[in-house]
Amino acid sequence: MANMKIKAKEKDGIVKVKALLKHPMLTYDQAKKKGVEANFITHITAKVGDTIVYDVSTSQFLSKNPQIKFKFKGAKKGDELTITWVDLSGKTVSESKKIK
Amino acid sequence: MNRRNFMGFGVLAMAALPAALSAFSSIDFRQTKPDAWKAKTVDDAIKALYGDIKPEEKGVTVKAPKVASNGGAVPVTIKSDIPAKTVALLQNMDPESAVAVFNVPENGIVDYFLKIKLKATDENGGNGEITAILEGTDGKFYKGKVALNVAKGGCEG
């Protein structure tokens, strides 16, 4: 099972990305109720080659299995987009998708 | 027959290598601005992130449904044409107000969408508001906001 569902399409020089990141995203309150440690994605970065095209630090308030969308310039069809997230526990997950 | 000069030429070429490496690198705002993530109000989060700024309310569009039926997944869009360095997404409904801080690459496009969790507005006196602060590359600050109601809270889940 993939950790992320990524769609990346280039048109007129702009790449539009839609990604669904699989993560339980437990806030501190939710975790307390379940008697477990809070854990949620704290940072998401997207790169094409060595160039960072998206970089965001996040809090416990992103939805469960958060969906994100973003756009950037400077890449073309066939280039590979890699999205990486890090969570509170220190786990890092990366996934790549070729831009269509 | 100038062998000495030939050697010198090679060394010069090396020294002239341009530092073409991009200066843009990932910033972990949770490390660089830890207080911002503990701030309980939008104003405190802004102060912790950017100091005592007076953002102009223009040029930044924040969209969210007027009434969000599911507080666990509220779709929010932030858009702007202003060349940006960073964009902060804040709200006044959850226990802490900072949701996300975007580090915008050069030539980056500020057109972000994400789904967030918000508490029901009746728990907050009915004044739900999402605010985005944009730190421009011109050193100035801009803001946009949108009011909304959340019918069923999404933080306790």
Q: What is the pLDDT of residue B107?
A: 77
The percent of residues above 90 in pLDDT, for chain B, comes to 73
CB contact under 8 A, B24 and A68: no
What's the Cα-to-Cα distance from A79 to each of A48, B25, B144, rounded to whole Å?
7, 20, 34
Residues 6+ away with beta carbon under 8 Å from B68? B74, B118, B148, B149, B150, B151
For residue A77, which amino acid is it?
Answer: K
Q: What is the pLDDT of residue B157?
A: 43
Q: What is the pLDDT of residue B4?
A: 57
Q: What is the pLDDT of residue B42?
A: 97
CB contact under 8 A, A51 and B154: no
Please list every residue in chain B whose beta carbon sits closer than 8 Å to the beta carbon of residue A14.
Answer: 109
pLDDT tens digits, one per residue of B55-103: 999 999 999 999 998 999 999 999 999 999 999 999 999 999 999 999 9
Neighbours of A97 (CB within 10 A): 17
3-state secondary structure (DSSP) of residue A76: coil
Please list every residue in chain B whose beta carbon sits closer than 8 Å to the beta carbon of residue A88.
Answer: none
Per-residue confidence band for B127, with pLDDT thresholds at 50, 70 and 90 = confident
CATH number for the domain formed by residue range(s) B29-150: 2.60.40.2470
pLDDT tens digits, one per residue of A39-91: 999 999 999 999 999 999 999 999 999 999 999 999 999 999 999 999 999 99
How far is it, in rounded angstroms, from Cα B113 to Cα B77? 4
Q: What is the pLDDT of residue B120?
A: 85
Q: What is the pLDDT of residue B18?
A: 44
CB contact under 8 A, A57 and B27: yes
Mutation pick from B22, B24, B25, B26 vs chain A, by most beta carbons of A within 10 Å, is B26
For the cut 90, the answer to whether the pLDDT of residue B54 exceeds it is: yes
How far is it, in rounded angstroms, from Cα B141 to Cα B90? 15
Q: What is the pLDDT of residue B121?
A: 77
Domains belonging to chain A, first-starting first, are 4-98 (2.60.40.10)
- Residue ranges covered by each domain of chain B: 29-150
Per-residue confidence band for B15, with pLDDT thresholds at 50, 70 and 90 = very low
What's the Cα-to-Cα distance from B32 to each of A38, A63, B149, rounded to whole Å?
21, 24, 32
Q: What is the pLDDT of residue A62?
A: 97
